Amino acid sequence: MIRPGSEAELAEAIRDADGPLSLRGGGTRGPLPDGTPITTSGLTGIVLHDPAALTLVVRAGTPVDEIDEVLRGANQRLAFEPMDHRGVLGTTGTPTIGGVVAANVSGPRRVLVGAARDHLLGLRFVDGEGTVVKNGGRVMKNVTGYDLARLVAGSRGALGAITEVALKVLPGTETCASLVARGLDDAAAVRAMSAALGTPYEVTGAAHDPQAAGGARTVLRIEGFAPSVAYRARALAEVLKPHGDWQIEDDREAVRADWRGIRDAAPFHGSTGDLWRVSVRPSEAAGLAARADAAQVFYDWGGGLVWLRTGEGDDLRARLGRHDGHATLVRAAPETHERLHTLQPEPLALQKLTRGLRDKFDPRGILAA
């Protein structure tokens, strides 16, 4: 394993590479490509935390836990609450912020505050030729030049190795509460979640577990200052009456633990079979899940994200057919990843653009991704 201790060393390692590199942060999010393993986990440390500007600049290998702790100390947080993949993948190791940004990993709060890429202010990366490039900056509004930062975020290492990221952070929340309904079928649950997200009550999470212990469970989250949370929870329960019977859960620690589980796709921890993550228009989610003929289904993002567990090697995409969205294979045997592809193949015109960009940033084709 190559483990550079600085950006310059990483650039040198990439420049000197004579074959494919298997780039990783903490290696928790798989699947890892073939090639010489190289990790950014040696590039650690917070470069700048400016609480009054809601800004954090941090080296890519810094553990997410460490960042959470520093931010908590200033009553701040990464609002996009990145998922920890270790539970569903059975991986060990330490999730790094570089990995989060490189895979645009975003949790339940995506529906209100946006994804990881929406909180990205800038980054530095080393491209496939070993050139260090910076883009964006550390300020909240910046349209100076092309937004390469967002292009590289989510590229899973295909365009380069991220060495440093600047992120927008948000104030912590004083408290939270959940509204819970039992027994809704999938279509009704998605309708209820859409109705909730269409209110002004700032729902920060909307998930549905059709196979929960004790029967289907739909859960909505509200966060903020205590009086505001109490007010909005009541108002929301009232508005949602046509969509079921809603109980308010306001034990803060229990609610937080519940949403950590939703964030980490806990219903699939310890399960067997392949796991897919399908990005979809909420209004098409229930129909799509029905077509999937899956062993297990779970909805997050108000139905915009559907987790599906299928038999090993099943071609879920063939069953789903065309839809406005895409299916990513999250957990499967290496040969299934190989055969079905981790990411959904794109239309030809987009493939051409993607190929063109990869050739430009990695002309030797050593950044296997």
Q: Which CB, 110 or 331, lies closer to another protein?
A: 110
Closest distance of CB 149 from another protein, Å: 8
Q: Does 347 bind another protein (CB under 8 A)?
A: yes
Find the distance separating the first CA and the last CA of the chain, reported in whole Å. 17
Comparing CB distances to another protein, the nearer of 62 and 173 is 173
Binding positions for another protein, 200-239, rule CB under 8 A: 200, 225, 227-228, 231-232, 235
Residues 300-339: x/- map of binding to another protein (CB under 8 A)?
-x--xx------------------xxx-x-----------
**Which long-range CB contacts under 8 A does 232-238 form with residues at least 24 apart?**
232/201, 232/202, 233/177, 233/179, 235/199, 235/201, 236/179, 236/196, 236/199, 236/201, 236/203, 237/179
> Judged by CB under 8 A, which stretch of 189-197, 252-260, 289-297, 332-340 contacts another protein?
189-197
| Binding status of residue 145 toward another protein by CB under 8 A | yes
Give the residue from 97, 106, 105 showing the smallest Cα distance to 124: 97
Residues facing 167 on adjacent strands? 56, 120
Q: Which is nearer to another protein, 213 or 348 (CB)?
A: 348
Residue of 26, 107, 154, 210 that binds another protein (CB under 8 A): 154
Contact status, residue 135 vs residue 147, Cβ threshold 8 Å: yes
Mode of pairing for the β-strands spanning 203-209 and 274-280: unpaired
Task: Please identify which residue in 92, 143, 238, 242 interacts with another protein, judged by CB under 8 A.
Answer: 143
Applying CB under 8 A, does 132 fall inside the site for another protein? yes
Give the total of residues touching another protein (CB under 8 A).
Answer: 82
Please identify which residue in 133, 180, 187, 188 interacts with another protein, judged by CB under 8 A. 133
Q: Which residues contact 92 (CB under 8 A, 6 or more apart)?
A: 28, 86
Closest among 25, 22, 12, 8 to 61, alpha carbons compared: 25
Cis amide prior to 347 (ω within 30 degrees): no
Q: Rule CB under 8 A: which of 250-289 touch another protein?
A: 279-283
Could you tell me the smallest distance in angstroms from the CB atom of residue 92 to another protein? 27
Exposure string of 47-81, with b = 16+ CB inside 10 Å and e = fewer, is eebeeeebbbbbbbbbbbebbeebbeeeebbbbbb
| Contact with another protein (CB under 8 A) among 23, 197, 294, 329 | 197
Cα–Cα distance for residue pair 105/70, rounded to 1 Å: 20
Residue from the set 47, 254, 290, 350 that interacts with another protein by CB under 8 A = 350
> What residues numbered 64-123 form the site for another protein, per CB under 8 A?
74-75, 104, 106, 110-111, 114-115, 117-118
Closer to another protein at the Cβ: 13 or 148? 148
Examine residue 174 and tell whether it contacts another protein (CB under 8 A). Answer: yes
Residue 19 or 356 with smaller CB distance to another protein: 356
Given 44, 94, 194, 296, the residue binding another protein (CB under 8 A): 194
Among 92, 238, 321, 349, binds another protein (CB under 8 A): 349
Stretch of 2-10, 52-60, 93-101, 213-221 contacting another protein, by CB under 8 A: 52-60
Q: How far apart are CA 263 and CA 110, in angstroms?
A: 10
Q: Are 319 and 292 in contact (CB under 8 A)?
A: yes
**Contact of 34 with 22, CB cutoff 8 Å:** yes
8 binds another protein (CB under 8 A): no
The least CB distance from residue 214 to another protein, in Å, is: 28
